[in-house]
Amino acid sequence: MVKSSQCPNWLDDVWAKSAGKGEGGEPETLAQHTWYVLSRLSDFIRLRPNLPDEIGVSRLWHILFWAAFLHDYGKAARGFQEVLRGGEKWPHRHEVLSLAFLDWLAAGLTPDEQAWAAAAMVSHHKEASQIQKLYPPPDDDGSDDQLALRIAELDEQTLLGLWRWLVECSAAWLEDLGLVGLGIELCPILPKEQAIPLVREEGAKRIHHWLKIYRSFIRKLDKSKDKSLIIGTLTLRGYLINSDHSASAHAGRLPEMKLTSNAILDSRQLNLEQLFEHQKQAAMTNGSVLLTAPTGSGKTEAALLWAARQVMEGNQTPRLFYTLPYQASMNAMKLRLSDAFGPANVGLQHGRA
């Protein structure tokens, strides 16, 4: 369900998921799925709002929001819609078709940001090598261009509905998702008189343009030693994939970590007076610390109290990772922390988890 003051009800017959995969066993519209993706993306943004500056990609959230908004537009193609209604398999990539719509808002992105947005959109399912194999550059005369046939599956009424959604709803969605003031700006959208003909008449050509940009971007990335480019690209793709997957799984809002010294002490049935000196020091230290103490001296409590201090001081602490060397100790720690914070708030990752 789209929880916004602006909902593109005129696109209710354009689905993203069949009844078997939709929420509650019902077909899921493209607008619903996109809202869920943006909702999960907004959760990730709230967990680490300062991440763009930390990795040197100041407009990361801006690029991601608009790439996520458009990432499944290609699902509006007639063949894909027929598959969702029990039709024959459609052996094409909807994310590639989505590139035909990037021009609609490209004016709100720099050339480098356009390349990142295209890369995020087209790679949210398949690796670059797979996309490049499936969609090589067309013949010189364009006679064997499969994309022209896919563009023909987008009728004018559907294109108009997609354009209206972008124009009439994007600002409200940005506000309703709580993303205003986080570096995401409204993009100038092509007028209807330009946007619709651009897709219908030049859609295949524009997709090939963005695929060429994507191939060039991948070549640059493969040769680059620029940490901001490498980490930024991994983050861009990872955030869109995670947002898409969690939305498809209909996961709820991501929990925020609530860690206080009182909660830790209560879970251990302790008070401040009962703490060892090294535990008290850890609880009062702001910033990195190295603790060495014997077995049984309460290092776990010291670590948790230190983490709570970081939260109290306003340091960005979206998640706490507790690493241990052996599976047995990890399993035991999972149970121990679950008793303190609840099983839903503690995860376990190892080869047999």
DSSP 249-279: TT--PPPPP---HHHHHHHTT--GGGS-HHH
Is residue 316 predicted with pLDDT exceeding 70?
A: no
In the prediction, which pLDDT does 141 show?
Answer: 56
Which pLDDT score, from 0 to 100, does residue 140 have? 60
Residue 192's nearest CA partner among 218, 220, 168, 160 is 160
CB atoms under 10 Å from CB of 44, counted, come to 21
Would the pLDDT of 295 be above 80?
A: yes
Residue 223, pLDDT score: 95
Q: Cβ contacts of residue 48 below 8 Å, gap of 6+?
A: 316, 318
Strands (E) across the chain are located at 15-17, 28-29
- Given this model, what pLDDT does residue 350 score? 87
Taking residues 25-45, what's their average pLDDT? 96
DSSP H helix total and E strand total for the chain: 15, 2
Residue range(s) of every CATH 1.10.3210 domain in the chain: 9-248
195 or 255: which leads in pLDDT: 195
Spatial distance between the Cα atoms of 4 and 184, rounded to a whole number of angstroms: 18
pLDDT at residue 104, as a whole number: 99
Q: Kindly state the percentage of the chain with pLDDT values over 70.
A: 97
Is residue 186 pLDDT above 90, yes or no? yes
In this structure, which topology does domain 9-248 adopt according to CATH? Hypothetical protein af1432 (1.10.3210)
Sign of the alpha-carbon dihedral angle for 193, 61, 115, 162? negative
What rounded mean pLDDT belongs to the chain? 92
pLDDT score of 67: 98
